[in-house]
Amino acid sequence: MSPMQQLLDVLTLEQIETNLFRGRSYPEERGRIFGGQVIAQALLAAHTTVEARHCHSLQAYFIRPGDPTIPVLYEVERSRDGKSFTTRRVIAIQRGEQILNLAASFQTEEPGFEHQGGMPDVPGPDGLPDMRELWRDIARREPKLAMAAERERPIEIRPIDPIDPLDPKPGTAFQRVWMRASEPVEGAVLNKALLAYASDMSLLGTSLRPHGVSFVKGVQAASLDHILWFHRPVEMHEWHLYDQDSPNAAGARGFNRGALFRRDGTLVASVAQEGLIRPRP
């Protein structure tokens, strides 16, 4: 089974009751569920209760680390079904406790005013090294990271300005990566779920770059919340530029923003996230 088929299998929820769903997880060497997976599963649970409307925004709070060895229950609350907008709240539960809650808003298709900001002028993805290549080099210097380096992933990422996580140097609070799904996926809902999954990748690391630390050296890091706005349709197997910046860090928290552009410059989504970045020796 390919990495993308494995991910789609994980994102396929079992419906237990009208508003109750069960999800499974990847085995994780970190011992906790990747946050983007829980967001994507919660979004799909909400979508199951909505007809003929598309999700235009979601906001999630990470409450507890998820355990990848046991299922996650997703309880959907049908907050409102209006003429143009539908609102859902999803609670993700393990061992009787919330690990995430998510609110999502859905809208009927409507024409209207349009404008967008421009995409940065950056090198394209062709010729840039993939993150797996970069991690293989890191694993040669730090063998305990070999498992992470060799694992095939459903989302391909090519950073424009990578840092060395074993020897990070202070830099600017900007980060730009190209990303795409490893295989085409059919359906607007699944493509949005893949975007939600991928939007939690690399974003929090943007707030670490000015401080010369990384996820493997000098910091305890975890996502605290995650907001995502869908502006236009997305086909995740096409290359997208994830343009990220971190305008602030304070109180052991880093604030990060992101914009996802198609290769032709069309803005498809915007992201905001705050995360714990606690210094450690």
Give me the active site residues, please: 200, 223, 273
Cα–Cα distance measured from residue 234 to residue 259, given in angstroms and rounded to the nearest whole number: 13
Q: Which tokens go with 47?
A: 């979508």
> Between the CA of residue 243 and those of 88, 138, 171, what are the distances in Å?
29, 24, 16
**101 bridge partner residues:** 61, 91
Residue with tokens 């770059």: 209
Tokens of 45: 């649970």
Closest CA to 46 of 131, 123, 103: 103
Q: Give 165's strand partners.
A: none
